[in-house]
Amino acid sequence: MVQPVPLTEKPLSDGDLVRQCRRGHSDSFRLLYRRHQHKVRSTLFQLCGSSFLDDLVQETFLRAWKGLPKLRSPEYFKTWLYRIAWNVASDKRREFAKTADLQSKLDPKPPSSPAPDLMDLHYRDLVQRGLEELSFEHRSVLVLHDLEDLPQKQVAQVLGIPVGTVKSRLFHARATVRQYLEKQGVTL
């Protein structure tokens, strides 16, 4: 079992936790899960909507757990985890496309919260619909960079594409979403 880190010590890095997992400390994976599950959930929501969101998050972390022995550089766990989440989202979208109309399967509404701000919900809904105007490749770049705050270099690593392609897709994705929002009467 992993011992709690005293407050005077620096928290364990992802790489340290991965190395502990490889030595059989499953509690270290729980820490990795707690550290990254909100960002993974947010990314998957932006890429696929709320349908099957819990299943997609679970599939992402299950693949990560099974793949830990093959992870070459434990320091890049976060980038690797985002790549797994992107692959899970891609697989689910292909499955949707094969079995039924994609739009009926994806719920573009954000999860409800107590006492929601109506304008905030309206703008979130508009942004989500704007994202749906994008191809999956453009949406992925925009979500990872602008909504999840990953640097362009890390987005390139996650998606397995050159940084120049990230920049190009980001430019076109932003322009498409901006045009969509302006058509909806949002002043930018």
Q: Higher confidence at residue 77 or residue 3?
A: 77
Give residue 1's pLDDT: 52
Query: CA-to-CA distance for 45 and 111, rounded, in angstroms?
Result: 10
What was the pLDDT predicted at 33?
A: 96
Tell me the residue length of the chain.
188
Q: What is the pLDDT of residue 173?
A: 92
pTM, to two decimals: 0.64
Across 46-74, average pLDDT: 92
Q: Is 112 helix (H, G, I), strand (E, B) or coil?
A: coil
Q: What pLDDT, on a 0 to 100 scale, did the predictor assign at position 116?
A: 52
- The Cα 28–Cα 48 span in angstroms is 28
pLDDT band at 153 (very low <50, low <70, confident <90, very high): very high
User: What is the Cα–Cα distance from 80 to 75, expressed in whole angstroms?
Assistant: 10
pLDDT band at 122, cuts 50/70/90? low
Can you give the pLDDT at residue 90? 87
Domains and CATH numbers, the chain: 13-101 (1.10.1740.10), 108-188 (1.10.10.10)
Q: How high is the mean pLDDT of the chain?
A: 83
Spell out the long-range contacts of 48-53 with Cβ–Cβ below 8 A and sequence spacing 24 or more: 48/89, 48/92, 48/93, 48/106, 49/105, 49/106, 49/107, 49/108, 49/128, 50/107, 50/109, 50/110, 50/111, 51/105, 51/106, 51/107, 52/92
Confidence of residue 48 (pLDDT cuts 50, 70, 90): confident
Distance from C-alpha of 150 to C-alpha of 118, rounded to nearest angstrom: 29
